[in-house]
Structure 1
Amino acid sequence: MLGFGLNKGYLCLVLQETLLSPQLHSDVDVGVETIKYVLMGEGAGSIFNIDENTGDIHATKRLDREEQAYYTLKAQAIDRQTNKSVEPESEFIIKVQDINDNEPKFLDGPYIAGIPEMSPVGTSVMQVTATDADDPTYGNSARVIYSILTGQPYFSVEPKTGIIRTALPNMDREAKDQYILVIQAKDMVGLMGGLSGTTSVTVTLTDVNDNPPRFPRKSEQYYVPESLPVGSTVARIKAADADIGQNAEMEYKIVDGDGEGVFKINVDKGTQEGIVAINKELDYETKFSYTLRIEASNKHVDNRFLSVGPFMDTTTVKITVEDVDEPPVFSQRLYTMVESEAAKIGSSIGTVTAHDPDSSHSSVRYSIDRNTDLERYFNIDANSGLITIAKPLDRETNAVHNITVLAIESQNPAQIGKGYVAISILDINDNAPEFAMEYETNVCENAPPGQVIQEISAVDKDEPLNGHWFYFSLPPDASSINFTLQDNKDNTASVITKRNGFRRQEQSVFYLPIVIVDSGTPSLSSTNTLTIRVCDCDADGIAQTCNAEAYTLPAGLSTGALIAILACVLTLLVLVLLIVTMRRRKKEPLIFDEERDVRENIVRYDDEGGGEEDTEAFDMTTLRNLNIIRDNKSRRDVTPEIQFLSRPSLRSAPDNLIFREFIWERLKEADVDPCAPPYDSLQTYAFEGNGSVAESLSSLGSISSNSEHNYDYLSDWGPRFKRLADMYGTVEDNLYS
């Protein structure tokens, strides 16, 4: 019992976790219940209660030091009548005294550890740690001792530190690779009455290379057909190794036997098997049995365990080759032969040979695979294998012939061997030289003598060893006063003018024969004709036109024909003027709407004529496109007696020249053509020449194809005929001039 009057400061009450019943008392209290005790602070009213009459302090529930070890409280003594404090307020601390009520716990458990197999005794595995929530400064409640409950005699644990160590030597992973230990921690220094806790520790033994490879059998037997190709697998062997991972990785090699070089061995990294494969072709007739001594060893060796024994093992592999019926085999895989393209049919080129590799040595017959000799240039003797020429050879067509020869076993025709023959054709000089291209040669009318108008070269299909060399000349009997030829001594020649000036009216085309001789043995020559056209050129020497017809009047055209043409034009002009006058009287417009039909020619007959055939006398498309080749259309009601070829297209030239050529061509055709319209018909052509901005005078292009016909179409021909009259007048003047 503490009195407030005697202790004017902090008081400390030490209480156990299981029992609490202290009492406070004031010296003023005389026992007649005039004083009331009041408690304040941590836990007052919830954990701690005070009897206001006696001052006894009671705990309402069990105290736990691990939750709170100290409580700070305040107490007062109050006069019941005045309700005033009779003593100064006093503060005191209640300290909870610890008892052993918590067992040790392994907060990090359960544990997993690993150590190499064959570890020596005392090898540290790991350290375990247990914690006790009791007060380590009071008694032995928190003092822990470790012990091993399960795992003996293989492992032990240090009591104070909790370090686990191996207890037996040479623990073999291959015998047992995992151990489960149970470790106990007990407080009170392990004395009777102490609390304890346990945890588990899983210890795994890791592998070390302590086991050598071992073959399960000391000898193996395998049978292999001789027809297996190189690279085929003939055997798979494996040495057993109790280790795992990289400690079980193997290496195999052939260390002895008569099969070295014929067979090879590799490792399958996935299965660690040794794969025996064929390294050279097998032949039963040559050797039918092989013996191999194969060694297996660990790839990674641990020197600590070399005392166990050699980390390798050997086995014997016997391989027996089985006989199979094989196809014939040629003495060479590829035969190369050479023959001249001048060789005659039936000439021998060379011989191929094949034999049956089997012990029966059957006879062989030969043939040519026609899929490689489609043209059947060659034949082969079925018995001897002699290859001969069946057709004339031409190096320029095919310089090398690659053929396949078949060798067929007589006793078993299904067995067929293949041989390959490359026949190279030697060149002879059997092709004459010729122009390298088709030359288009022009000469200007004003060309001076000595002017080079063309350089020519030659080609030859032959291939001489020293290359081509050509010689150019004019034939001796074809001397020309117009042109000469100069051999440039470099496989080219120059054509040179020999006279001063040319006239198209006299001769528009010259044909110059040129002799080309090659340098072969014997040499060959050819005569090639060079076509030279005389052209009208501008000041820069550029050809404008090379057509001579525009300067020559046709023999059938007379002055009367021209007068007749002009008279017809004037007649039509008068007719049009009459129609225009009638239109004006009716006050109708001279210009049609776009939907009205417009005719491009007027055809008048004094007899019934040929009807619609006369309207086909010409094609307006041809008039608009003079550069297009003109096709003559024949009358279907008249059988023509003379066939005419279409004329070539006119080259670009000034409009006056083109127009004059056009008129003369039409006049010539009309004079001699039996398919022309009746002679009393008149054909008019509205032509403005090339390059006209207005293009054709025809108004057909402005009329839609689906418009209704209107035959009042001559009202707009007045201005056109005036232009036609002007043009024809110009033509007449030009012609007579």
Structure 2
Amino acid sequence: MYEINNTEPSNNQKLHTDLDPGSSKIKYILSGDGAGTIFVINDKTGDIHAMKRLDREEKAEYTLTAQAVDRDTNKPLEPPSEFIIKVQDINDNAPEFVDGPYHATVPEMSIVGTYVTKVTATDADDPVYGNSAKLVYSILEGQPYFSVEPHTAIIKTALSNMDREAKEEYFVVIQAKDMGGHMGGLSGTTTVTITLTDVNDNPPKFPHHHLEVCIHFSVLEDIAIGDPIGRVKANDLDIGENAKSFYDIIEGDGMDIFEITSDSQTQEGILRLRKPLDYEAKKSYTLKIEATNVHIDQRFISVGPFKDTATIKIIVEDADEPPVFSSPDYLLEVHENAAIDSVIGQVTARDPDVTSSAIRFSIDRNTDLERQFNINTQDGRITLATPLDRETNTWHNITIVATEDRKTEVAWRGETAAAAAAEQSLAVIHTMRAIDKDDPKNGHHFVYNLPPELSDNSNFTIQKKRDNTLDILTKRGGFSRQKQEVYLLPIIISDSGNPPMSSTSTLTIKVCGCSSEGIAQSCNAEAYVLPIGLSMGALIAILACIILLLVIVVLFVTLRRHKNEPLIIKDDEDVRENIIRYDDEGGGEEDTEAFDIATLQNPDGINGFLPRKDIKPDLQFMPRQGLAPVPNGVDVDEFINVRLHEADNDPTAPPYDSIQIYGYEGRGSVAGSLSSLESSTSDSDQNFDYLSEWGPRFKRLGELYSVGESDKET
């Protein structure tokens, strides 16, 4: 048996036979596990070599067979010999926590040394050879709360009174090191998440304010028995079963009126009504309630009582109660020959509300289909409407309905009162009653709804009462007739029959002005009222400033428009028609062949009247007759005079009715060129005296005609 250290791939082991005289005739042969691949043998010397690094954890030993043969004949010199090569272990594997990471729990408030959990690390090295697999455990993170046993890896608490409410979860890092924990050993780590479980170490507590707990509730007096009034909760820092509490009323002036139950889901106490409330009899109640833990841990009883108390104040609010008759039924006797309109009896009712309203009486016509009786709506007196016949009907059972006399108008006291009315939201403005000619066995049960499109109505809402009537309430205050005078509120009414029947009624609500006593006076659109405190002088000054500002704006706009307005408002086509060009340069005044004086006329004027296109004349004039074409030999002086007279007496002509461009100069002109451009060949001694005669006339003509600036030889 041979042992080979696996740290080096070339470890030498030697085989030798006793028959070997030292000659070269012996040959060594190796066979078995890894022969020729992992292990090779020198056939002359018998030396065995490992050709690669060996891993004990992969294969700890190899079985090989060696034999010596004659080199020439290959005949065995002795029988084969079997031997085993064992791979010697070295510390080449670090410890591993194959089951990590770990999770563990321990109750809060546990004492020091309480068992938490145990971790285990493994080392692939040989546990029986040296210290390669000898492990020692230590804690790297988690002090001072937890500790670990070095050899067993058991984790325990190291600090007492750890509070879950302060910190619930801890992360602990455990290290395992081989070589007995000595220097040079390999190590591995794992994480242990330790969660503190809850114990009942906290009592329930109501939210204290100024050292006293006082919870306020408001409830309408007409709330139904068994309906919840409100919820209270004592907060408990514990969780689960340890946080469960039950509630009880321990004292107060309403112990027989109210009760409190526990909600197991939310751990709240639900206050409910046991007996009817009456605002007129008692307007408030005071109760003292107590919350106590259901499960109490006796280990922590020294902390204090696991209970807490609070005071509840219940304010009863007035509800709009229906009228109450003085008697539930009335027995009236009448002779069958009683006269029509004679009084046969009277009913009385009262409004139990503090703010008592007038009562209006009516007969339910479902019980008086033949309309044999009438009732005074104000005082409840019942009279005969038709004669009675005892032999036909001995008894008549009729139902009298008493309702509060409310109007369908929302009356406010003007703008000042409307501002204060913003606090009057949810005020009842009208009560409606539905009538159904059917007679179900269990009585009528009506359902009132607003149409879906009015579900978010910001002005009015509805509220059903226990007597099957319907209250119309305002959702806001401060109505103004200036903004809206009439509101239409459709209401859908359904019965409880099979199949259910329904109808829609529309309530017209008017916003009216009221007197100081609250009586509606006018429902027309109210006049605008000047704000109080603003003097008439101040109003006049403000009005004058506004007028002055308007005048300035008008003047500015007018001047701006005149500044930007062109002298001649004609389109391009008109300008082209009124521009006459003479590009043929002739022989001056003596040249009568190339120049026709008739071309000085307005070509459009020949055909009649040319209407203005820039302004609309105030007066309509007859079209002026066009002049006949002027012969070629007419005098220029006479022609210009005619044109001046015509322009002076034509109120429909614009200030500049055409543009005439003269680009022709004759050949025999005394004055030479009339061009504004000086010529190098012109004679400066020429005589221009003829201008003294024609100058004033051309000046007047310049007021009628504009010479084109682009023609520099005009």
Determine if the alignment matches structure 1 residue 178 to structure 2 residue 173: no
Deviations 1:347-385 (A, max 9, x none): 998765421112344553422122443333444454564
Q: Secondary structure at the match of 1:321?
A: strand
2:290 aligned residue (278, 288, 295): 295
Quote how far apart the aligned CAs of 1:268 are: 3.6
User: In structure 2, what is the equivalent of residue 73 of structure 1?
Assistant: 64
Partner of 2:349: 354
In 2, Cα distance between equivalents of 1:15 and 1:343: 141
Q: Structure 1 residue 408 and structure 2 residue 404: aligned? A: yes
1:121 corresponds to: 112
1:35 to 16, 21, 26: 26
For residue 149 of structure 1, what is the aligned residue in structure 2? 140
Q: Which residue of the other structure, out of 269, 274, 293, is the alignment partner of 2:269?
A: 274
Change (3 A) 1:248 1:397: farther
| Structure 1 position 16 matched with structure 2 position 5 | yes
Q: In the TM superposition, what is the alpha-carbon distance from 1:327 to its structure 2 partner?
A: 3.4
Q: Offset at 1:311? A: 1.0
Q: Is 2:181 the counterpart of 1:190? A: yes
Change (3 A) 1:412 1:105: same
**What corresponds to 1:49 in structure 2?**
40
Partner residue of 1:111? 102
Give runs of aligned pairs for residues 646-661 of structure 1, distance below 5 A.
none
Question: 1:261 deviation in Å?
Answer: 2.9
Alignment-mate amino acid for residue 26 of structure 1: T
Stretches of structure 2 lacking an aligned partner (at least 5 in a row): 410-428, 436-714
Contact 1:326 1:358 in 2 (8 A): yes
How far apart are the structure 2 equivalents of 1:331 and 1:385?
A: 12
Q: Return the letter of the residue paired with 2:207.
A: P
* Percent of residue pairs bearing the same amino acid type: 58
Whole-Å separation in 1 of the counterparts to 2:192 and 2:303: 31
The whole-number CA distance in structure 1 between the counterparts of 2:258 and 2:219 is: 12
Cα deviation, residue 90, structure 1: 0.6
Distance 1:161 1:341 in 2: 112
Residue equivalent to 1:215: 206
Size of the aligned set, in residue pairs, is 408
Alignment check: 8 A CA contact 1:377 1:393 kept: no
- Following the alignment from structure 1 to structure 2, what is the Cα–Cα distance between the partners of residues 267 and 305? 24
| Cα distance in 1 for residues equivalent to 2:233 and 2:32 | 84
- Please list the CA deviations of residues 613-658 of structure 1 after superposition, one character each: whole Å capped at 9, or x if unmatched: xxxxxxxxxxxxxxxxxxxxxxxxxxxxxxxxxxxxxxxxxxxxxx
Residue 329 of structure 2 corresponds to residue 335 of structure 1: yes
Aligned partners of 2:297, 2:335: CA distance in 1, in Å? 75
Which of the numbers 235, 240, 246 marks the counterpart of 2:235? 240
CA contact (8 A) 1:47 1:61 kept: yes
Give the TM-score, by structure 1 length: 0.51
Inter-partner Cα distance in structure 2 for 1:106 and 1:85: 54
Q: Secondary structure at the match of 1:22?
A: strand
Return the alpha-carbon distance in structure 1 between the equivalents of residues 303 and 223 of structure 2: 42
**Counterpart-to-counterpart distance in 2, 1:305 and 1:396:** 86
1:385-404 to 2 correspondences below 5 Å: 385=380, 392=388, 401=397, 403-404=399-400
Q: Does 1:369 align with 2:358?
A: no
Per-residue deviation, 1:200: 0.6
The answer as to whether partners of 2:214 and 2:311 remain within 8 angstroms in 1 is yes
Instruction: Indicate which of 180, 193, 196 corresponds to 1:202.
Output: 193
Report Cα offsets for 1:93-131 as digits up to 9, x if no partner.
Answer: 111121221111111110001111111211111111111
36-45 vs 128-137, which deviates more? 128-137
Shift of 1:67: 1.0
Q: Is the Cα contact below 8 Å between 2:127 and 2:133 reproduced in 1?
A: yes
For structure 1, the residue ranges without an aligned partner over 5 or more in a row are 1-11, 421-737
Shift of 1:148: 0.9
Assess, with a 3 A threshold, how the Cα gap between structure 1 residues 410 and 72 changes in structure 2: closer, same or farther.
closer
Say if 1:406 and 1:417, in contact at 8 Å, map to a contact too: no
Q: 1:285 to 1:52 in 2, by over 3 A?
A: same
Pairwise mapping of residues 652-731 of structure 1 onto structure 2 (< 5 A)?
none
Deviates more, 1:313-322 or 1:87-96: 313-322
- Structure-2 separation of matches of 1:306 and 1:384: 71
Contact 2:28 2:66 in 1 (8 A): yes
Partner of 2:313: 318
- The aligned amino acid for 2:369 is L
The 3-state SS of whatever aligns with 2:329 is strand
Counterpart-to-counterpart distance in 2, 1:374 and 1:244: 67
- CA shift at 1:329, angstroms? 2.3
Classify 1:410/1:125 alpha carbon distance in 2 versus 1 (closer, same or farther; 3 Å): closer
Structure 1 vs Structure 2 CA RMSD = 3.4
Matches within 5 A, 1:321-720: 321-331=316-326, 335=329, 352-380=347-375, 382=377, 385=380, 392=388, 401=397, 403-409=399-405
Taking the aligned partners of 2:106 and 2:45, their CA distance within structure 1 comes to: 69
Q: Distance in 1 between matches of 2:335 and 2:83?
A: 134
| Residue identity in the other structure for 1:294 | I
Q: CA deviation at 1:62?
A: 1.0
2:52 matched to 1:61?
yes
Determine the structure 1 residue equivalent to 2:248: 253
Task: Give the distance between the partners of 2:225 and 2:430, measured in 1 at CA.
Answer: 20
Letter in 1 for 2:329: Y
* Other-structure match for 1:431: none
Task: Give the SS at the match of 1:31.
Answer: coil
Deviation by residue 1:696-731 (Cα, 9 ceiling, x = unmatched): xxxxxxxxxxxxxxxxxxxxxxxxxxxxxxxxxxxx
**Pair 90,329 (structure 1): closer, same or farther in 2 beyond 3 Å:** same
In structure 2, distance between residues paired with 1:395 and 1:71 = 132
Q: Deviations over 1:204-227 (max 9, x none)?
A: 011111111111121123333445
C-alpha change, 1:162 and 1:351, in structure 2 (3 Å) is: farther
Find the aligned partners of 1:249 and 1:43 in 2 and give their Cα distance: 73
- Aligned AA for 1:408? E
Whether the 8 Å CA contact 1:226–1:324 is kept in 2: the answer is yes
Task: In structure 2, give the amino acid aligned to 1:73.
Answer: L
CA–CA distance in structure 1, aligned partners of residues 391 and 55 of structure 2? 116
CA contact (8 A) 1:326 1:356 kept: yes
Task: Note closer, same or farther for the CA distance 1:412–1:316 as it changes in structure 2 (3 Å cut).
Answer: farther
Counterparts in 2 of 1:66 and 1:419: CA distance versus 1, 3 Å: closer
Q: 1:40 to 1:170 in 2, by over 3 A?
A: same
Partners of 1:135 and 1:141 within 8 A in 2: yes
Aligned counterparts of 2:393 and 2:46: Cα–Cα separation in 1: 136
Is residue 25 of structure 1 aligned with residue 21 of structure 2?
no
Letter in 1 for 2:195: T
How far off its partner does 1:247 sit?
1.7
Residue in 2 that maps onto 1:93:
84
Q: CA deviation at 1:51?
A: 0.8
Q: Which of these two proteins has the greater Rg computed from alpha carbons?
A: 1
Structure-1 residue corresponding to 2:584: none
Alignment check: 8 A CA contact 2:363 2:375 kept: yes
How many Å separate the matches in 2 of 1:281 and 1:109?
65
Cα deviation code 1:671-716 (max 9, x no counterpart): xxxxxxxxxxxxxxxxxxxxxxxxxxxxxxxxxxxxxxxxxxxxxx
Deviation (angstroms), 1:262: 2.8
Change (3 A) 1:350 1:180: farther
